[in-house]
Structure 1
Amino acid sequence: MDLLCSDLHLSAATPALNAAFVALLEGRARCADRLFLLGDLFELWAGDEDIADPALQPLVAALRALNDAGTEIHLLPGNRDFLLGTGFAAATGAHIHGDWLIADIAGEPTLLLHGDTLCTDDLPYMQFRAMVRNPQWQAAFLARPLAERHAIADDMRQRSKQATAGKGEYLMDANADAIASMFRLHALASMIHGHTHRPALHRHTVDERDSRRWVLADWRDRACWLEARDGALRAFTTDDSGAIVADTRYDN
């Protein structure tokens, strides 16, 4: 069984969600062969020194324990935590990938990605992304003191929120041509991503081939994930007590 989730945005300001994530790692995820975290596990990651943050240490420890119990952890950085590095990988046992990963999910080769690379209509964001993913920019940023990095990242986050408030909905959603290009590039018919916070199963026809694209839900106020088991995908959502309140099955 594989378990997938995205856009948790965990931080010191989300103690209830942090606890829900730890509960997932100590509970249902122990039955999984693999856990895929498709970006924005953290609201902010200014460098691997953040491992020492007291609010985040229980999350790091729970990931390590899950890895040690035999569940593989695969992580794709998102637009909030793209600075997750070798220190985090060593502390948790997670495999950190690049912009995308192909894995067999429910018996079908599937493209996994965070999803921000599909939002090509948002030109200012794509320019910002190119800047912060540049190795030279990252090296210069990581050379600054941690407190300064947090201040810069907080300012970027506030600017992003202000900019997002003035953008049209279509700018922040996946672009149809970008989706089709991604299906063609990898010659696959199945894709799973997050980022847009618009959970749904979308059906596409690309070059006369039927394709499916799952968008994962964000953890805005509850835990949610996708499970792949026995050739089917099931979406789960919990309530405040951690009880599962929604279970939707998608057969291949």
Structure 2
Amino acid sequence: MQTEARQADALYVLGDLFDFWIGDDDDSHFAQSIKSEFKALTSSGVPCFFTKGNRDFLIGERFCEQTGITLLPDESVIEIYGNRILVLHGDTLCTEDVRYLKFRATVHKPWLQWLFNRIPLCIKKKIISKVQADIHTEKSTKPLEIMDVTQSEVERVMQYYDVKLMIHGHTHRPNIHKFATQNHSHTRVVLGDWYTQGSVLVYDNNGFELQNRPF
């Protein structure tokens, strides 16, 4: 964000930037430093777009005001150098993970988020710690294929939006998948996580490249 992104036409973040965003009232040094970097980037003239992930779905209007970012809907068709591209976090593509999708539907209820955002920060931290522990335990017993995207859902969504390229995160399995449907070629790009390396998709007039950046 301090170097390459300053030269970009735009920056897109497709969710799960945080292990968990507890809310826009997070006053920790870490949260403030991230906000500061976003604000510096957008103030330099580079537009920044953010798609909420399953770990930072509580990002709200205050975060946008403090950083200058623009929140995108769960599924957005954008145009880059004349190409229509579907960007999304990717969790909604994992249709075999029924328990997670039920959990997602619950925590995305506006009234529940409204209530949670009015709980004191110290209590929210305890609630989040418990939820994260439960999720970690459940993931350890879940088959890996259940937590991956469902190919038929990928094809359905791409056909619905009439796009040939999809970019998402969530599964943290960086790769470029090519497949064909009804004699049309399609590409699905998966971004990786940021635990031991950076995962960046660089897109310019010559095409795109999925890059891993060692820390």
Q: Give TM-score, length-normalised by structure 2.
A: 0.96
Moved more, 220-229 or 60-69: 220-229
Amino acid at match of 1:76: T
Secondary structure at 2:170's aligned position in 1?
coil
Aligned pair partner of 2:17 in 14, 35, 41? 41
Post-superposition CA distance 1:84-126 (Å, at most 9, x none): 0000000000001121111123541000000000001000000
Structure 1 position 221 matched with structure 2 position 191: no
Amino acid at match of 2:88: L
Looking at structure 2, the residues matched to 213 and 136 of structure 1 have their Cα atoms a distance apart, in angstroms, of: 34
Structure 1 position 101 matched with structure 2 position 68: no
Q: Which residue number in structure 2 is paired with residue 56 of structure 1?
A: 31
Determine if contact 1:183/1:206 at 8 Å carries over to the other structure: no
Q: Give TM-score, length-normalised by structure 1.
A: 0.83
Q: Which residue number in structure 1 is paired with residue 138 of structure 2?
A: 163
Amino acid at match of 2:66: A
Secondary structure at 1:225's aligned position in 2?
strand
Moved more, 201-210 or 55-64: 201-210
Amino acid at match of 2:10: R
Looking at structure 1, the residues matched to 92 and 182 of structure 2 have their Cα atoms a distance apart, in angstroms, of: 21
Looking at structure 2, the residues matched to 158 and 204 of structure 1 have their Cα atoms a distance apart, in angstroms, of: 37
Aligned pair partner of 1:208 in 183, 193, 196? 183
Q: Specify every segment of 5 or more residues in structure 2 that has no aligned partner in the other structure, as ranges.
A: none
Structure 1 position 91 matched with structure 2 position 66: yes
Looking at structure 2, the residues matched to 203 and 86 of structure 1 have their Cα atoms a distance apart, in angstroms, of: 37
Looking at structure 2, the residues matched to 132 and 206 of structure 1 have their Cα atoms a distance apart, in angstroms, of: 34
Looking at structure 1, the residues matched to 182 and 81 of structure 2 have their Cα atoms a distance apart, in angstroms, of: 24
Change (3 A) 1:231 1:109: farther
Looking at structure 2, the residues matched to 44 and 55 of structure 1 have their Cα atoms a distance apart, in angstroms, of: 12
Post-superposition CA distance 1:176-224 (Å, at most 9, x none): 1110111111011110000001111111223332111000111121222
Quote the offset at 1:129 in angstroms: 0.2
Secondary structure at 1:233's aligned position in 2?
strand
Q: Which residue number in structure 1 is paired with residue 103 of structure 2?
A: 128
Identity value in percent: 33
Amino acid at match of 2:16: D
Amino acid at match of 2:18: F
Q: Which residue number in structure 2 is paired with residue 243 of structure 1?
A: none
Looking at structure 2, the residues matched to 106 and 211 of structure 1 have their Cα atoms a distance apart, in angstroms, of: 18
Looking at structure 1, the residues matched to 81 and 91 of structure 2 have their Cα atoms a distance apart, in angstroms, of: 24
Q: Specify every segment of 5 or more residues in structure 1 that has no aligned partner in the other structure, as ranges.
A: 1-24, 241-252
Determine if contact 2:192/2:198 at 8 Å carries over to the other structure: no
Determine if contact 1:106/1:231 at 8 Å carries over to the other structure: no
Which structure has more RCO (C-alpha within 8 Å, separation ≥ 6)? 1
How many residue pairs end up in the alignment? 215
Looking at structure 2, the residues matched to 194 and 170 of structure 1 have their Cα atoms a distance apart, in angstroms, of: 16
Looking at structure 1, the residues matched to 188 and 178 of structure 2 have their Cα atoms a distance apart, in angstroms, of: 6
RMSD: 1.1
Looking at structure 1, the residues matched to 167 and 50 of structure 2 have their Cα atoms a distance apart, in angstroms, of: 13
Q: Map 1:1-252 onto structure 2 (within 5 A).
A: 25-50=1-26, 52-240=27-215
